[in-house]
């Protein structure tokens, strides 16, 4: 009987721990990294109308490669969890990923250089140049901090996802696509952006815009 009670207690504690705000955020990011986008939103996000049925559609292989590399290079660390009230917590997460803006900037600079170099008759295509940069071990990366709001629901803790959360997860891809003319800006690091050139680097920009669809619903990560 004593063992049974201990077993029940451990089960209750396990279930409780599994619902901690930071655990929910970790599971959400893990699913995004594994490209299980629909599962991530269905299981761990409360505002389904914001991004519940997000689908990634690629217009070409270059766009597909970009997303695959973003998911592959996504790293994160839970920094802290702060309780706002009885039903709300804020989980601060440090996200490191490919710096999309710097990737496009490097591609543009290289192609410009190739185009106007004397005697260069073998200019590299934009697709090949992009592939070379994004697959390099020295691909630019950046680290940013973002806050995930987690609320209690009837089904346990869930994230109220924001566009900023998803933007940071995807290496500032969304910001870059929305501001294609800002490639040459001296990167003003929003929220704790740690810019690194080489195995670690920092900011955002855009080529052909991949479609991030959500069945007509508003987006964000």
pLDDT digits (tens, 9 = 90+) for 185-219: 655 444 444 445 443 333 333 334 444 444 444 44
pLDDT, residue 177, reads 87
- Residue 11 belongs to a domain: no
- Residue 6 belongs to a domain: no
Burial 11-34 (b: 16+ CB within 10 A, else e): eeeeeeeeebbbbbbbbbbebbbe
- Residue 147 belongs to a domain: yes
Distances (CA, A) of 161 to 33, 52, 170: 16, 10, 14
pLDDT digits (tens, 9 = 90+) for 164-192: 999 999 999 989 988 877 776 655 444 44
Domain enclosing residue 135, as ranges: 21-213
pTM over 0.75: no
Q: Report the number of distinct structural domains present in the chain.
A: 1
pLDDT digits (tens, 9 = 90+) for 20-45: 999 999 999 999 999 998 899 999 99
- Residue 139 belongs to a domain: yes
Whole-angstrom Cα distance, residue 57 to residue 41?
Answer: 17
Cβ(65)–Cβ(107) below 8 Å: no
- Residue 4 belongs to a domain: no
pLDDT band with cut points at 50, 70 and 90 for residue 113: confident
Cβ(195)–Cβ(202) below 8 Å: yes
- Residue 1 belongs to a domain: no
- Residue 9 belongs to a domain: no
- Residue 16 belongs to a domain: no
């Amino acid at each position: 009987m004593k063992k049974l009670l201990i077993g029940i207690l451990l089960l209750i504690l396990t279930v409780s721990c599994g619902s901690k705000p930071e655990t929910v955020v970790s599971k959400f990011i893990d699913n995004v990294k594994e490209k299980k986008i629909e599962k991530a939103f269905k299981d761990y996000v409360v505002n389904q109308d914001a991004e519940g049925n997000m689908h990634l559609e690629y217009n070409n292989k270059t766009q597909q490669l970009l997303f695959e590399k973003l998911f592959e290079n996504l790293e994160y660390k839970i920094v802290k969890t702060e309780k706002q009230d009885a039903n709300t917590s804020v989980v601060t997460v440090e996200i490191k990923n490919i710096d999309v803006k710097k990737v496009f900037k490097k591609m543009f600079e290289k192609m410009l250089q190739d185009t106007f170099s004397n005697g260069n008759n073998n200019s590299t295509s934009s697709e090949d140049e992009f592939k070379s940069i994004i697959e390099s071990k020295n691909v630019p990366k950046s680290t940013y901090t973002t806050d995930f709001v987690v609320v209690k629901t009837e089904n346990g803790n869930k994230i109220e996802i924001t566009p900023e959360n998803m933007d940071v997860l995807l290496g500032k891809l969304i910001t870059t696509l929305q501001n294609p003319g800002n490639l040459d800006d001296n990167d003003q690091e929003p929220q704790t952006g740690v810019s690194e050139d080489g195995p670690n680097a920092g900011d955002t920009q855009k080529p052909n815009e991949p479609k991030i669809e959500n069945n007509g619903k508003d987006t964000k990560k």
